[in-house]
Amino acid sequence: MRNFFFVYEQFSAYLYINGRIRNIRQQKIVKKTVQLFIPPGCLRGCCPSGILVAALRKRGKQQKMRMERMKKRNIICLLLAVLMLLACTACGGKTDTSDTAGTRTITDGKNRSVEIPEQVERIVCVGVGALRYSCYVGAADRVVGVEDYETKAGMSRLYNYVNFDKFKDLPVTGTNGEPYVEQIIDVAPQVIVMSAYASCDADELSGKTGIPVFVVPGSDTTLDDAAYETIRLLGELYGLETRAQELTKYLKGIQTDLDTRTAKIADDQKPSVYVGGVSFKGQHGFEGTEAGYGPFALIHAKNLADTTGQTGAFNIDTEQVLAWDPDVIFLDFNGMPLIREDYQANPAFYHSLTAVRSGKVYSQISFRSSASNLETALADAYYAACVLYPEQFSDIDPETKASEIFTELLGSDPYPDLKEAGYAFRAITLGA
């Protein structure tokens, strides 16, 4: 385009002075100008050069007519030159807009402005929750590198289980929230998605890799504000806003349903409940429990661990459990090997518990693996609610509900596989 304006300026100057220059000189100037700014090859391919010369060589018999005609023809020459320049551009020239086109700036979970490609198709996730929530919003196909534990098969992280064929052979680009800088550079993601649980600084990682880093809050509970914000941010990042909005609507519907059915149940009408076998920093037996246990919190259950003043998962003195003597006990499948081993060594303790004697011991599918797996926690909440409040949940089949939740969050239903592997919702008989 710069050449276009230059040619225009040259011919404008010529038209201004052409009345004072004789024909032959005029012809030479025009011819040289055309030769200077229009490549000969383009002239041959786009337009015969003789048009210009013939137009300028015509002479009128009368000076006045000759000058008028010459002015008109000079204008035609200008237009032809412009057209030929544009033709040359169309044949071989390109306009480079790569410096400004194809990017956008969005704000991440740390209130950082991050410039990212218009379309994000290649990502690496760092830190627990980043890959999980990316799968929830439908971006599993965009992952080009994973942390080491994602290449190992297992049912404890269902987002990984249903996408394992996509992840198992991907390059390892980190471990437990620690990124492998060189490996990330090698796989060339457009964006690094990092959860707040990662063990590195976003700006530092971006500086080392030259790749934009987008931080999301992640969530280590169930349906808290951080979970919803992570879904919203990832929807914006991936251009999957509609999916993020639909998922949020579904999850808020779940939350409202559980709350509406249970919030007004009086405490004296709620059975006391204990959950054992909860995993945290590895497997734990009957003593592993949790205050604020996500599935119980969603249904306003009377969780005895909440009375201790502790927060999160911890080991409790089993004598305290015996003193509480809970009405109902739930056991996490992750801790069952240790619980069964302990039962063989100390059956008297377990049979001292009313819930064991009365057959009120039930399962919970493990949802704690690399932080909270939301889909499993929600399925656990519905099963616990059906056990604790059968009247309020008489219309709910927990297995059907689990399949619905899994399909909505994961795009497929792994519950039949869980059931076949022995991880179904069911009553548990210790010693059987």
| Domain ranges, ordered by start, for the chain | 2-92, 115-251, 264-420
CA distance 367 to 111: 30
Strands 328-332 and 302-303: unpaired
Strand partners, 274: 329
SS3 209: helix
Backbone angles phi, psi at 299, to 5 degrees: -115, 15
pLDDT digit of tens for each residue in the chain (432 aa)? 444 444 444 444 444 444 444 444 444 444 444 444 444 444 444 444 444 434 434 444 444 555 555 555 555 555 555 455 444 444 443 333 334 449 999 999 999 999 999 999 999 999 999 999 999 999 999 999 999 999 998 899 999 999 999 999 999 999 999 999 999 999 999 999 999 999 899 999 999 999 999 999 988 888 999 999 999 999 999 999 999 999 999 999 999 999 999 999 999 999 999 999 998 888 999 999 999 999 999 999 999 999 999 999 999 999 999 999 999 999 999 999 999 999 999 999 999 999 999 999 999 999 988 888 999 999 999 999 999 999 999 999 999 999 999 999 999 999 999 999 999 999 999 987
CA distance 77 to 267: 94
Q: Tell me if 235 sits within 8 A of 244, measured CB to CB.
A: yes
Classify domain 115-251 by CATH number: 3.40.50.1980
The identity of residue 13, as a single letter, is: A
Start-to-end Cα distance in the chain: 84
Nearest to 278 by CA among 321, 248, 233, 228: 321
CATH architecture of the domain with residue range 264-420? 3-Layer(aba) Sandwich (3.40)
- Can you tell me which residue has the tokens 């006391």? 272
C-alpha distances out from residue 340 to 9, 273, 343, 356, 419, Å: 92, 20, 5, 13, 19
Cα angle, residue 50 at apex, residues 48 and 52 outer, rounded to 5°: 100
